[in-house]
Chain A
Amino acid sequence: MQVVVSEKDGIFICRVEGEIDINTAVQLKKAFDKLIREKRDKIVISMEKVSYIDSSGLATLVELLKNFRKYGARMKLAGLTAKVKSLFEITKLEKLFDILEKEEEAIKAF
């Protein structure tokens, strides 16, 4: 799994690629440490290329959301595949996150 971060007009777009599971969830969390430390407040996590996410991955996203909310940052998810989206639904997390179909929509929504 890898996370590539880019910035456009103060919005930080984090493109995640690969599987987010028990082995990679720690790495995912670390990839956002810098953004949290620098108190970046507009975050898009683009998940078009995430093929699978397990409970530890979902929990890591919840933990990131909590960390961002602590200083008033907003975090949006975009590009979830049908399979990944169904995992959000099973765990009832789809209502917790601001989820948009496409990355561009998420950027525009700020």
Chain B
Amino acid sequence: MDDREVIIKAEGIHKAFGENQILNGVDLEIYKGETFVIMGGSGCGKSTFLRHLTGALTPDKGRVSLLGKDLALLKEAEKEDVLKKIGMCFQSSALFDSMTVAGNISLPLREHTKLEGNVIDIVVKMKLELVGLRGFENLMPSQLSGGMKKRVGLARAIVMDPQVIFYDEPTAGLDPIVGGVIDKLILDLSKKLSITSVVVTHDMNSVFRIADRVAMLYKGRVVEVGTANQIKNTENELVRQFITGQPDGPISFMQTGDDYLESLTK
């Protein structure tokens, strides 16, 4: 593994929102071509961490290197060049309701390139074929199911031929079969197009279907990194509790303490 090319590197990432310390020194290396899953419970900081990797947030402390470039050291135009080489698949699909499927997918090409309309139309058709939605160009997002919207979001994420795609909860809110379809698509695109995939999720079925390697985040830190098999067989109790979904264990979901009654009468 060590001789593989590191395409994303996070070093000592700290982030607080007000008094809430979300990330407490996250260190991670992601290799070129792998499907890397970041898992963890709600509120553990995984989406916040993802937003640091995509340059949407700047760490309070620490640094992120994406495609070999330290994001903090780049001028705006240089940063834009790096960000053109990544794709983002949002949890909500984030499609523009007022635009057709084709309009949504082609938006990055129309915004960032000088390609002719005819050429853009062909690219859109090629991407729709890859996500299994050929012929859906002229539909509006409101006419699509949740799974179809995700696939349109995915087509948009790959429209500029990115080197890395970031997925935020790609299977959230989908039934198990559609979730499986999305996972298969993530794998297909990663392998066919040699794309590095970084997936944030807490869907355990999805984790073990798609991951080459997995990191678990807990309380703003990485508590374990390993291959999917290593994670499945780990003896780390935090990870084991998360994987098996046990309510009792080192991860506490209930607030405890003697200050409950006091807080009611304060």
Contact = CB atoms under 8 A, between A and B. Distances in A.
Contact of B161 (A55, A60, A66): A55
B119 A59 contact: yes
Contacts, number: 50
A26 B116 contact: yes
A33 to B, nearest CB: 12
B119 A25 contact: yes
A54 B127 CA distance: 12
A21 B163 CA distance: 13
Contacts of A108: none
A2 interface: no
Contacts of B112: 22
Among B113, B115, B116, B119, chain A packs the most CB atoms within 10 A around the CB of B119
A86 B180 CA distance: 26
Given A22-B113, A90-B193, A55 B118 contact: no
Interface residues of A, number: 19
A38 B193 CA distance: 37
Specify the main secondary structure of chain A where it touches its partner: helix
B116 A62 contact: no
B126 A22 contact: no
A63 B161 contact: no
B123 A59 contact: yes
B109 A90 contact: no
A21 B112 CA distance: 13
Contacts of A25: 115, 119
Interface string B24-62: 000000000000000000000000000000000000000
Interface in A51-110: 54-56, 58-60, 62-63, 66, 90-93
5 contacts: A26-B113, A29-B116, A59-B119, A59-B123, A63-B116
Nearest 5 A-B pairs (CB), nearest first?
Answer: A59-B122, A54-B161, A59-B123, A59-B119, A62-B122
